């Protein structure tokens, strides 16, 4: 089927290469683990011609620090600053009680490339744990630093790192006025290097990533009513998928990227539908007079999680697609919504109202125990990191919308504020291996 580009209305502008104007403010770390791992990330040896770039060690160290599991040593407290294995004296780092050591260098290479090398050492064991070399263009400088942080994180914790990923969010400026504008932003996971994928004078909602990170889907009001749009991240392709009367909302890709779950009220009550993206055929999944909304997929793609008030109040349900077997997952409290399953399929995160305040909660589905993860107000829109260790969500700070991140056990928290306006509707990307 030929994919026709949708005609854009005057209220909307696609700008795939607008870079950096709305990058989030510096991360504010509120809380880390009680006993984080001590690590030394030595400033990388860098050619003078690369002095305009941030030292890679700063990016790597801050990635590890914001995970909450590491306590990077300040450079001014280092007894030596080796950039090569032959200059490493483990005694220096044992004195400083560093369990691990990262060293490296970045050099200009032929063809405008940059050669980057790093090594990770176990200080107590006095051994090299891993090393790697990269040949990259200058515009992949920060990406390379995030890749190194991912490698260090995985070597030490045994869990794949998620620093070299992206976050997507809606930036609202002058909201509530006649000058209101909205943009769909994509940035590095630390909020740096943002670019606007879409700018509009109409609200943008429910943005989600495809499993390969190459496409996004979202809701706009550019036609005067909610419309579901699919768009490439790095090309001009953009297509309107639905424009029915009533609700067109909450689109989310299936784990294999071939289907899209969504909410439509074209026949009356809001119901969950699934669209086959190859044929554009719709299949109705729920049939109930209550409101069924906010679908998400199980990791295996065999069931849908959704919010419904069919029991009298918003609660989370799971529907097996092959058998239509329906199971209610939440029972505690009278408001639970916007649920997402962790990659293991055994744990759930969602918005939970406690004493009239909305927080993000975690639930073990096998033991039914619930833990409230956040302590801020009006917390909403949780989105999981691809390794399942952290989640990003929208909250309020001094009357402004900001983004915040919390670890899945609640022990680590940090904020990503923005001085450019209110930020909301975050979505953490999948791994971007391509």
Give the CATH number for residue 39: 3.40.50.10070
Q: Are residues 112 and 49 in the same domain?
A: yes
Residues 328 and 417 in one domain: yes
In whole angstroms, give the CA distance from residue 408 to residue 376: 16
Q: Tell me which residue range forms the domain holding 119.
A: 32-157
> Is residue 3 domain-resident?
no
Q: How confident is the prediction for the chain on average, in pLDDT? A: 92
Helix (H) or strand (E) holding 93: helix 90-95
Do 379 and 233 belong together in one domain?
yes
Same domain, 55 and 204: no
DSSP letters along 162-185, please?
-SS-EEEEEEEESTTSTT-EEEEE
The whole-number pLDDT of residue 417 equals 85
pLDDT above 90 as % of the chain: 82
Taking residues 290-298, what's their average pLDDT? 97
Mention every residue, 6+ apart, whose C-beta is less than 8 A from residue 431: 160, 162, 165, 213, 386
Mean pLDDT over 324-351 rounds to 95
For range 384-400, the mean pLDDT: 93
Q: Same domain for 175 and 82? A: no
Q: Pick from 377, 386, 359, 375: which is nearest to 413 by CA?
A: 375
- End residue of a domain, out of 128, 157, 186: 157
In a domain, 1, yes or no: no
The residues with which 127 forms a beta bridge, in sequence order, are: 122
Q: What percent of the chain has pLDDT over 70?
A: 95
Q: How far apart are the first and last CA of the chain?
A: 25
Do 212 and 117 belong to one domain? Answer: no
Give the span between the Cα atoms of 399 and 410, in whole angstroms: 24
Residue 25: pLDDT band (50, 70, 90) is confident
Confidence grade of residue 272 (pLDDT, cut at 50, 70, 90):
very high
Nearest-angstrom CA–CA distance, 15 and 22? 13
C-alpha to C-alpha distance for 143 and 433, rounded to whole angstroms: 12
Domain total in the chain: 2
- What per-residue confidence (pLDDT) applies to 22? 62
391 located within any domain: yes
pTM value is 0.91
Give the mean model confidence (pLDDT) for residues 373-389. 92
CATH code: domain of residue 352: 2.120.10.30
| Residue 366 sits in the same domain as residue 275 | yes
Closest CA to 169 of 143, 144, 196: 196
Give per-residue pLDDT as tens, 170-206: 999 988 888 999 999 999 999 999 999 999 999 999 9
d(CA 403, CA 405): 7
Flag whether 419 is in a domain: yes
Q: Which is higher by pLDDT, 235 or 176?
A: 235
pLDDT at 129: 98
pLDDT at 124 over 70: yes
Would residue 21 count as lying in a domain? yes
Determine the Cα–Cα distance for residues 39 and 69; give it in Å rounded to an integer.
10
250 within domain boundaries:
yes
**Higher pLDDT pick, 15 / 231:** 231
Q: Are residues 279 and 414 in the same domain?
A: yes
The last residue of one of the domains, among 96, 128, 157, is 157
Domain check: are 226 and 142 in the same one?
no
Other CB atoms within 10 A of residue 372 CB: 14
Is residue 416 one of the residues assigned to a domain? yes
Measured N-to-C along each axis, helices 56-66 and 141-157 cross at an angle, to the nearest 10 degrees, of 50
Distance CA 360, CA 377 (A): 10
Residues 267 and 305 in one domain: yes
**Last residue of a domain, which of 157, 190, 210?**
157
Same domain, 312 and 380: yes
Residue 1, pLDDT score: 37
Residue 269 token pair: 């009550």
In terms of domains, do 420 and 280 share one? Answer: yes
State pLDDT tens for residues 396-408: 988 889 999 999 9
pLDDT in tens, 299-330: 999 999 999 999 999 999 999 999 999 999 99
Say if residues 214 and 232 touch (Cβ distance below 8 Å): yes
Could you tell me if residue 433 is inside a domain? Answer: no
Give the DSSP letter string of 257-300.
SSEEEEEE-TTSS-EEEEEETTT--EEE----SS-EEEEEE-TT
């Amino acid at each position: 089927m030929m994919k026709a580009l949708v005609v854009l209305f005057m209220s909307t502008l696609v700008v795939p290469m607008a870079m950096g104007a709305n990058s989030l403010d510096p991360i504010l770390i509120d809380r880390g683990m009680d006993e984080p791992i001590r690590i030394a990330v030595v400033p990388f040896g860098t050619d003078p011609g690369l002095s305009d770039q941030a030292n890679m060690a700063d990016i790597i160290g801050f990635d590890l620090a914001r995970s909450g599991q590491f306590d990077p040593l300040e450079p001014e407290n280092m007894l030596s600053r080796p950039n090569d294995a032959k200059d490493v004296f483990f005694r220096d780092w044992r004195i400083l009680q560093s369990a691990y050591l990262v060293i490296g260098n970045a050099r200009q290479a032929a063809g405008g490339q940059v050669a980057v090398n790093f090594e990770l050492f176990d200080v107590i064991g006095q051994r090299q744990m891993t090393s790697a070399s990269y040949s990259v263009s200058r515009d992949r400088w920060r990406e390379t630093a995030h890749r190194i942080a991912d490698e260090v994180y995985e070597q030490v914790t045994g869990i794949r790192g998620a620093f070299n990923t992206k976050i997507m969010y809606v930036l609202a400026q002058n909201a509530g006025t006649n000058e209101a504008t909205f943009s769909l932003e994509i940035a590095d996971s630390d909020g740096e290097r943002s670019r606007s994928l879409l700018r509009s004078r109409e609200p943008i909602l429910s943005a989600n990533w495809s499993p390969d990170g190459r496409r996004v889907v979202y809701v706009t009001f550019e036609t005067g009513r909610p419309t579901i749009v699919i768009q490439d991240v790095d090309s001009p392709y953009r297509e309107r998928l639905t424009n029915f009367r009533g609700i067109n909302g909450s689109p989310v890709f299936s784990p294999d990227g071939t289907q899209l779950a969504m909410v439509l009220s074209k026949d009356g009550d809001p119901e969950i539908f699934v669209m086959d993206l190859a044929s554009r055929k719709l299949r109705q999944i729920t049939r109930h007079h209550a409101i069924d909304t906010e679908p998400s997929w199980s990791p295996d793609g065999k069931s849908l999680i959704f919010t419904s008030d069919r029991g009298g109040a918003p609660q989370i349900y799971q529907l097996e697609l092959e058998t239509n077997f329906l199971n209610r997952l939440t029972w505690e409290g009278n408001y639970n919504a916007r649920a997402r399953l962790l990659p293991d399929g055994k744990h759930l995160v969602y918005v939970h109202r406690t004493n009239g305040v909305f927080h993000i909660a975690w639930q073990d589905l096998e033991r039914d125990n619930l833990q409230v993860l956040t302590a801020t107000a009006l917390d909403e829109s949780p989105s999981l990191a691809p390794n399942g260790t952290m989640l990003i969500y929208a909250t309020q700070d001094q009357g402004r919308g900001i983004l915040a991140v919390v670890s899945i056990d609640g022990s680590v928290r940090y904020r990503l504020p923005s001085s450019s306006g209110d930020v909301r509707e975050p979505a953490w990307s999948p791994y971007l291996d391509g």
